[in-house]
Structure formats: C-alpha cells, structure tokens
Amino acid sequence: MRAYAYKVVRGELRFENTEDEEKILRLMERWRKAINISEHRDWHLSALPKSLQTKANEFIEQQRKIMEAKRIRCEPVLHQWMMQLYPENARFTDKDFGHVALTTLTPYETVVAEFCCRRCTLLKEASDSPIREGCKRRHVLETSHPKLVYDESDKKFYLIYVIRKLVSLPTLDELEAALNHGFNIVSVDINLDDLTYAVFHLNNGEEKRLHIGRCRWNVGEWIRVRRIDAFAKKRHGMSASRHWRRLKRRGTGKAAEGANQIMETAKKFNAKAIIYEKLSNRFPKGSKNHNYKIHCWYHGRIVRYLVNKARWEGLAAVPVSAWGTSSRCPRCNAKLPNPKTNSHRDWQTRRCERCRFTDDRDHIACTNIARKFNRKLLKHRLRNILQIT
Ligand SMILES: [Zn+2]
C-alpha cells in the first residue's frame, strides 16, 4: 500500500532590527484588517493568493457556523496571525538555509531574516529531491508552501514547512504471507507513568521474545499541578492554565522521546510492524475520572507520534483490541487474580494460579499484544482460504 508520510519543519525567524519585524507585522495586520472589513471582504480576498483565499474563506465560514449554532449575531472576524506564502515569497538566500528573504503581499518590500531551525538537513534533502513531473514514480520528498505565523504568546515569528514523503507500507496480506519465513514486530504497552516495548519474532503462530525495554517518566507532576489547580479554582475562581500548559509541553517531549526510543529499537531489529492497543472504545468519552482522562491524553499523544514516525520509516502500525491484555495469562489464558495487598511490588508482578506462570505485568501485556496480533494474522489467513474455496 502506498501512502504519504508527513513531517513538520518549524524554524524561528530572527530579524536584524526591530524595524523589519514591525514592517512585517504591519503588513500582516493590514491584510488581516482588510479581510475583516465585511463590505470589502470579497474584493480584498480576490487580491490574495489563491491558497490563502480558500483558507480565509474556510475559516470565515467555519466561524459563521459556530456563531449560528450559538445564536450570536455579528460578523465573523479573522483573527489568526497566519499567512501562507508562495515558495517564491520566501526564498533562502544561502545554501545552508541560514537566511530567508520574505516578500510580503506588497511587492518590492523584501525583508531578510535569520532562519533558526533544527531540522535544516531534512529541508535541504527535500528541496534537493529531484522533481520529475509526469513520471509515474513520484519524487521522494516534497515541500509544501511555507506558512508565516506570528505566535502571540512568545512574540516570535515562525516559518513552517510541511514535508511529505511517499512510502510503501506493508498490508495485512503481505504480513500474513511473510509469516511463513518469520519476521520481527515491536509490541507497545502504554501506561500512565511508563512505556514498555518488546521485540517479538513471529513464525507460523509462535512468538519468541528477543528484547524488552522501558521508558519511564515522573507522574508526580500531574498530581502536583492538579492540587495547584484545585487551589486556584477555590481561591481565585480560575484554573491554573499556565501550569497545565507547561505540563502539556513536557508531556509532549516525553511522548516524543518514548516514540523515538521505540523507533530506534524497531530499526535495530529490522521490525516490520508496530503493534499497539486501541483504547478509544475502552474508556467512555464523558468519563469524569481524571486519571482516565490523563491516561487517554497520554496514550493518544504517544500513539499519534508513534504512527507518524512508523509511517515515515515505512513500517505498518497496527492497532489491536485492548481487552484483557494485562489481566490474562499469556500461557494458559486464565484470568490473573488481583493482588491482595496494595504495595507496588505486588501489583507489578503477576502470578497465574492455574499454571504458576509469573512475570512483570507490563511484560505480560506486551506478550498478550503480540499474541493478539499473531492471532489476527492467522484469522486473516483462514478467512482468505475460506473465501478461495
Ligand atoms: Zn496461566
């Protein structure tokens, strides 16, 4: 199966003097105001580049719908500090992507700014990738039109590029066919405070564990911020949004770190697929329980990162049902009893009463996830055979 994988390259713009910065800001402001004047909106919109027209129109339409739903009577306003530029409007003046020349909507006003970006090599690779139009096999990497964004919270300009890559992902049929020779997979178990991943070798209905690893983080911060939030609500009548935001940023970093670690392991063992459990139908959406909410947020974030990264490397990311992954014995499928004490060590290791199998609960979850995937492939094979006969 052929699909596109995406990566975002974001670079900060630093202007030589504040005059240039103000000039750009003024132009953005002028454009924004022009669109917001309702009488002349269509006229102003027609003067904009086409990609920008549809974007502004979509945004205004969306806003109108929201207002209608809330029964508010006023004109929709475009308030986002974002501009989509043509590639010729944002040119790199040197080969190593250090400086960029911006031409804004008013012609002949070019401003040069320093471009600070961590993923410059990727951008270079994408812009150097050969473009062959009309060719059946498309070029490997493509860059989109850059977006000029002004972030109001930290008062900085950013230039954002989206880079896409055409990859071929193995389908379920191909994985099923590869089962005869055997291949490696990585199964991932995501918890609130850690991430366990294991490499398994699948061969005709049997799985063998090759490697196991874990990525931990501190969950105490969540509890601390929750306490601050409760206090702020009680005393000042508003939530501690700054703390939440910082915490979310940190969580994002941790999620990316975990996903990177898994991808490195997958590359080292030459794995073909990454298996994770699908939680979306396990927890009800309107659940009031805060731990579940945090868990869902973490889980969703990590899964999203993992799927994106796996796609970029050309690996399949397959979800399996989360039912009973950490409560069933991987050897005899009996239900594992809950420990009688409340201590962490008792909860961490589980013991089967029927076959005396003992292991770490996260390791058990990984084994069960890999086994579920194996069974899924075997079921797929059976279905194919039945269809043929
Ligand atoms: Zn057992």
State how far the Cα of 112 lies from the Cα of 90, in Å rounded to an integer.
10
Rounded Cα–Cα distance for residues 268 and 271 (Å): 8
Q: Chain-wide mean pLDDT for the chain?
A: 80
Distance, CA 358 to ligand 1 centroid (Å)? 9
pLDDT greater than 90 at residue 199: yes
Paired tokens of 321? 């049902």
Are 6 and 163 in contact by the 8 Å Cβ rule? The answer is yes
Q: For 311-335, what is each residue's pLDDT tens digit?
A: 888 888 999 888 888 888 888 888 8
* pLDDT for 55 beyond 80: no
Give the Å distance between the CA of 208 and the centre of ligand 1: 17
Instruction: Give mean pLDDT, residues 197-206.
Output: 87
> Tell me, what's the pLDDT at 161?
85
Read off the pLDDT band of 79 (50, 70, 90).
Answer: low
Separation CA 368–CA 189 (nearest Å): 10
CA 327 / ligand 1 centre spacing (Å): 11
Cα–ligand 1 centroid distance for 336 (angstroms):
8
Whole-prediction pTM value? 0.74
* 332 CA to centre of ligand 1 in angstroms: 4
Give the lowest-confidence range in 55-59, 63-67, 75-79, 295-299. 75-79
Quickly state the pLDDT bin for 24 (edges 50, 70, 90).
confident
Residue 135: per-residue pLDDT: 46
Confidence band for 181, pLDDT divided at 50, 70 and 90: confident
Q: Distance from the CA of 271 to the center of ligand 1, in angstroms?
A: 28
Find the 265 Cα to ligand 1 centroid distance in Å: 29
State in Å: Cα 233 to ligand 1 middle: 48
Q: Does the pLDDT of residue 359 top 90, yes or no?
A: no
Give 122-130's long-range contacts (Cβ < 8 A, gap of 24+).
122/7, 122/9, 122/163, 123/9, 123/97, 123/161, 123/163, 124/96, 124/97, 126/161, 126/163
Ligand 1 center–CA 215 separation, angstroms: 27
- What is the reported pLDDT for 131? 55
344 C-alpha to ligand 1 centroid (Å) = 22
| Residue 55 CA to ligand 1 centre (angstroms) | 57
Distance 349 CA to ligand 1 centre (A): 14
Domains and CATH numbers, the chain: 2-168 (no CATH), 172-388 (3.30.420.10)
Whether the pLDDT of residue 304 is over 70: the answer is: yes
**How far apart are the CA of 334 and the centre of ligand 1, in A?**
5
Q: How far is the CA of 351 from the centre of ligand 1 (A)?
A: 8
Q: pLDDT of 84-129, one tens digit each?
A: 676 677 788 887 788 888 776 555 677 888 888 888 888 887 777 7
Q: What percent of the chain has pLDDT over 90?
A: 8
